[in-house]
Structure formats: C-alpha cells, structure tokens
Amino acid sequence: MFDHLIGPALRLLDPETAHGVTLKALGMGLGPRAEAPEDPILAIRLWGRDFANPLGLSAGFDKDAAVMAPMLRLGLGFVEVGSITPRPQPGNPKPRIFRLPEDGAVINRLGFNNGGLAQAQARLTAFREHQAAGGLPSGNRGLVGINLGKNKETEDAAADYEKGAAALGPLADYLVVNVSSPNTPGLRALQGRAELEALLGRVMDALPAPAPPLLLKIAPDLTEEDKQDIAAVCLAQGVSGIIATNTTIQRPASLKAAARDEAGGLSGRPLFAPSTAVLADLYRLTEGRLPLIGVGGITSGADAYRKIRAGASLVQLYTALIYRGPALVWRIKRELAGLLREDGFETLAAAVGADHRYGG
C-alpha cells in the first residue's frame, strides 16, 4: 500500500508538509502495527537495558516527542526524539527540506525547529505513564533516547545542554549531546578537544541520579585528529557511547538530483560509506570499549549488518523510511537475522566489530 498509494501521494506534497501529515496520521493511530514476534538473535543488552532488536529511529523524525508509541509499534527496538532545545524555536526559513530521489537522499537545513523543553517534558512524562499502565504492545519495552540541542542565540552552549540533561534525564533510556548538526552556527566547533571536554564535564555534572547513559553524536566531516580527540575525550570523561554519524556537508560528485547543491546536511544513501568509515575508526580508536550507534544510509539488512560488523551495537534509520515506507523495518530485521546466522553468529553481540577481528 505504501509503495503504490501512500508513498507516491506523500511525495506529491512538499517534504515538510508530507512530514507533518505523516506525524498527524501517526498521532491519530493510523500507522501500521507489527504483530510478528521478535527474532531472539537480534536481542542485545546495553547500559542495563534490553533491546529487543538493534534497529532504531534516529533523531530528527520526531523532534517534539509526539509519536513515540506509534513508531515503536512498527517493530523498532527503540526511538530517539529531538533534538530538543530549552526554548521553543522556529528553525531556519522555509523551504528547508529537499528530496533527492535519484540518490535516495535528503538535504535539510531545519535548524533545531522544535517546541522546546517544557512541551517535550510533558509529552515524555505522559508517555512513561502510558507505558507503565501497559499501553504498549506486549514485549515492547518502549526504549526512548532523547537528543539534546542548543538554542541558536545561546552563547553559553553548555548551559542549554545542562538544562536539557537535568529536566529530561529522568525520562530517558539514554541522553544524546548533539554537537554535530551543520544547521546551527558554531555548533560543530564544540567537537574540538578543549570545547568538548568542558561541555561534557558540565553536562555530566548536571545529570540526575541515577544518571542515564550519556552519548555523544558526532559529524562525519572530521579529520583524523578530530576523531582521535573525540575518542580520547569520551573515554576519559566516562561517556557511555557515541552515535556516528549526523548528516554531512559534503556533496559527492555522484549526486544526480536537481537539489544536490542546496545548503544543509545530506542524509541517506550517499552518507552510508563515509559514516560507516567514521564508525569503524571510532571502534578502533576506543578499542571497542564504548557502545556505538551506527546511522547513515541504511536501506537494507545488509547495510545494518555492515554497520554492526564495523562496530555498531545499535543502528538507526530515517531517510530510507521516506522512500521505502514502514515495511522496511521488518525487512531489515529479517535480512539481518539471516545474515547473522549465515555467518555463524549465535547472538548479535558476537557480530559487533567482527570486521576488526576477522576482516571485512
């Protein structure tokens, strides 16, 4: 139905309108529901949490924590909401999302548009209450990560992340410090060693007790020195994991779509190779001591498997859902389970970082 009716109809709308229609439909309970049981080979335990499968929704889709339950009902192992800033902000001027269908990609320059901390806190509190009352499918633990950003005008960036961590930490299965969006001026400069040490130190001090896992989301557009510094800082500061990667500001020569030169972050298929390379580098630089979430260009179970073998314990997708629809979730899980068994792995965890041990 998505391939032949819903998808083509949505693509007749401009991208941001189509996204809004999708969120409204999900909020009205019109989204599909996965009924098949999870394959046990896909289960993994991280940070004291049990993930029924490693496939999650990346930040950016549900910026305002409005459709967590409907997305989990698709069969995802977890969802990540945000980025959430302390104060509401409208983001950058429209148009600010551009489809590149020939390339299986999207360019966005949204600029952390969201309804702010108070709205997200209220919705997450209601979700947790609904979850505690048994409002999610049997066996669905409702794992939710919360991605934190800073307001555009804030000069003391760490203060914004401190506010988000303190307020939303009690509601999160993990928190993410997002310093890698290309659409907020100066944000990526926070990935420098001195800036990152100071920022993470302040955010960790602001975490509530008991503290949720704190992850860092990084850009794909990094030098070797940048990656070395990020790995060293994360290990020294006791960060719980790294998400690799956000969108890229690079424009591969292979891009065909008319919108290829629009400003913003490029996501989707062209991001797969560079983001996977950064992921592999971070696994090597951290010696496999930090759980990594691989995101960027996943469109199949084989893509997810390559990220896992490169070092990812969990993987996320978003752009591929725009073009392939919700059935992609179960397709990826089925293919991934088959690939794990084909290569003789009895658990997902055994395959994490396999390329570093056995070669790719």
Is 181 one of the annotated active-site residues of the chain? yes
Residue 300's contacts (CB-CB under 8 Å, 6 or more residues apart) are 331, 332, 335
Q: For residues 65 and 248, what is the distance between their CA atoms, to the nearest angstrom?
A: 24
Q: What angle do helix axes 193-206 and 157-168 make, rounded to 10 degrees?
A: 30
- Exactly one of 58, 181, 267, 275 is catalytic; name it: 181
The two three-digit tokens of residue 331, written as one number: 């397709």
For residue 125, say if its preceding peptide bond is cis, omega within 30 degrees of 0. no
Residues carrying an active site annotation: 181
